[in-house]
Structure 1
Amino acid sequence: MERSLMAGSMSPSPQFSGIVIKQEKGRDIIEIVEDSLTTERVLQYCYPFTNPVLENLDDVQNVLAMMKKFGMRGLMDRVRGALVQPSFLEEEPLRVFAIAYRFGFEAETRLAARNTLRHQIFGPYVKELEHIPASIYHKLLQYHRRCSVVVCGLTSDFSWFPGFASRWVWFQCDDCVHHSLSWPLSDGKIYEVNAWFIEYMERARTALRERPCGKVVSDPLLIMDALETAAHCHTCRPAAYLDMSTFIGEHFSVEVEKAIDTVDLDIPFHSPA
């Protein structure tokens, strides 16, 4: 919908890109080409009303684009929280990442990049990528790859296990088939390990390679085979579930997130133009 806004006798200063100003009967006229709903939402941010509800990322993006066009940088900061709603970050983190970078929101860009790790990096195309340089998307791919490498390393080096790890049943049981390799722990000793536990770690490595985040290692589908095998052993059966729950929930998933914290996104940021 195309509308006109009477600007009075003085032209706005500075002249913002995208605004068409023309003279008509001695008055400057600013043409607003945004749709009426977006305009209404922007005005709600301008006046002391309750902030509008932005139900989807298209709404957020439209409001931010209009605010940027009119140089409303202070108001843009009030929309940042709407961009990183938990549902958006969970379901569409790549879109959030591209929008956040486009408008110069560094904290939100980093948060969205972290949330993309919950998804396979080569997912469906999103139109917001057209608004950011290819180099930035490439750096996101590199970030995903570096995170994959660092967390996958946790599955083949047990030196990060807590000091009491040797008490877990997969180190204690002598009745199950042991893995062909023995494994050193942080206490400096080398232990034989039940094969079913190593098989779980190998499955976790494959999953982390595609989605490097702590949530992945607690996927029941990854754990199920290990617990089914453990259930056939009279030594492992009573302890396997509790020990696995403790290991994954209190140690493995936490260590994955700590490892990701060491990886820098390595993206240059800019302020909204």
Structure 2
Amino acid sequence: MRAARKYDMEAVQRHLADELVKFAEQEPLRVFAVAFDLELYEICRKAAKLSLRKAICQSERVPLELGSLPSPVFYQLMRYRTRCTEAAQEVLTNLRWVLTQILGRKGNKIVTRLRHDYVQVSYEWPALWIWFRCTSCLPHCDKLVPFSGAAEHTPRMWWKEYVDRVWYALEGRPVGSVSGEMNIFEPSIRRAVTCTVCAPDAYKDLKEFSEQLASRIDKAVSMVGQPVNVYSSK
């Protein structure tokens, strides 16, 4: 790459940059380090975002390419990862949207009635997820109260365990796709189908919920700033 720059071989530079990008999905940290060394900062940012899909320190061996990375840059990269994790987990920390913003669910409607100068809010039962409709299997102890005036809804334990697994998975990989991974998804389905009330709708509802959750997580992470401020790193 440096030789191509020295002799103004732009076509070769573009080709080498394209080849480097191809490796970013499998080896994002290595590509990040190489791209930073070559001052390919746009590739740096892409590699940093792709690195969120992989847990840090999966390998026992330190990638050799990281040896050339300045400590302040590596620190920025780790801070970026921390901010992304916090943003992703916040989606699950504040679950009001689970009741108030159910996207695309048939029959979903918030009914408001004025009674003595206040608004009473209620939900159509067909619009609620099965883990709220069911009152048969083991409940979770917490009640979700989306806002003042709304009825309390206690979710089933199998759903809360699913949410907890997603939350912990985001510690290592703050990306929405973890919400649909089988080791996260399947244990709750296995538990849900033991309940005669939950069984018919558990898979469908949890699948739909996991997709909406993934979208929200990815949107939250996308709002985090640039992975690395290259100008403050020089």
Q: Same fold (TM over 0.5)?
A: yes
2:76 maps to which of 139, 154, 170: 139
Write out aligned runs for 1:104-143 (5 A). 104-124=39-59, 125-143=62-80
Q: For structure 1, which segment, 210-219 or 187-196, has the greater mean C-alpha deviation from structure 2 after superposition? A: 187-196
- Tell me the distance in 1 between the aligned counterparts of 2:147 and 2:31: 40
Unmatched runs of 5 consecutive residues or more in structure 2: 103-107, 109-122
Write out aligned runs for 1:1-273 (5 A). 64-68=1-5, 70-72=6-8, 74-75=10-11, 76-85=13-22, 88-124=23-59, 125-161=62-98, 162-163=101-102, 164=108, 167-185=128-146, 189=150, 190-249=152-211, 251-269=212-230
- Tell me the distance in 2 between the aligned counterparts of 1:96 and 1:188: 52
CA-to-partner distance for each residue in 1:183-231, whole Å, 9 max, x for gaps? 1347973311111101111111111011111111111011111001101
What amino acid maps onto 1:93 in structure 2? P
Secondary structure (helix, strand or coil) at the match of 1:146 reads helix
Would the alpha carbon gap of residues 82 and 168 (structure 1) be closer, same or farther in structure 2, given more than 3 Å must change?
same
- Tell me the distance in 1 between the aligned counterparts of 2:77 and 2:63: 14
- Tell me the distance in 2 between the aligned counterparts of 1:72 and 1:233: 68
Would the alpha carbon gap of residues 244 and 186 (structure 1) be closer, same or farther in structure 2, given more than 3 Å must change?
farther
Would the alpha carbon gap of residues 158 and 188 (structure 1) be closer, same or farther in structure 2, given more than 3 Å must change?
farther
- Tell me the distance in 2 between the aligned counterparts of 1:230 and 1:206: 21
Would the alpha carbon gap of residues 105 and 73 (structure 1) be closer, same or farther in structure 2, given more than 3 Å must change?
farther
**Contact 2:140 / 2:160 at 8 angstroms: preserved in 1?**
yes
**Contact 1:183 / 1:191 at 8 angstroms: preserved in 2?**
yes
Higher RCO (Cα < 8 Å, 6 or more apart): 2
Unmatched runs of 5 consecutive residues or more in structure 1: 1-63
- Tell me the distance in 1 between the aligned counterparts of 2:227 and 2:182: 34
What amino acid maps onto 2:142 in structure 1? L
Would the alpha carbon gap of residues 138 and 183 (structure 1) be closer, same or farther in structure 2, given more than 3 Å must change?
same
- Tell me the distance in 2 between the aligned counterparts of 1:235 and 1:259: 33
- Tell me the distance in 1 between the aligned counterparts of 2:145 and 2:94: 8
Shift of 1:101: 1.6
Would the alpha carbon gap of residues 264 and 157 (structure 1) be closer, same or farther in structure 2, given more than 3 Å must change?
same
- Tell me the distance in 2 between the aligned counterparts of 1:73 and 1:141: 34
Secondary structure (helix, strand or coil) at the match of 2:141 reads strand
Cα RMSD (Å): 2.3
* Matched residues, number: 204
**Contact 2:49 / 2:227 at 8 angstroms: preserved in 1?**
no
**Contact 1:151 / 1:259 at 8 angstroms: preserved in 2?**
yes
- Tell me the distance in 2 between the aligned counterparts of 1:96 and 1:160: 37
**Contact 2:189 / 2:202 at 8 angstroms: preserved in 1?**
yes
Shift of 1:72: 3.0
Would the alpha carbon gap of residues 176 and 254 (structure 1) be closer, same or farther in structure 2, given more than 3 Å must change?
same
- Tell me the distance in 1 between the aligned counterparts of 2:189 and 2:225: 36
Greater per-residue strand proportion: 1
**Contact 2:48 / 2:227 at 8 angstroms: preserved in 1?**
no
What's the TM-score, normalizing by structure 1? 0.69
CA-to-partner distance for each residue in 1:92-113, whole Å, 9 max, x for gaps? 1111111222222222111111
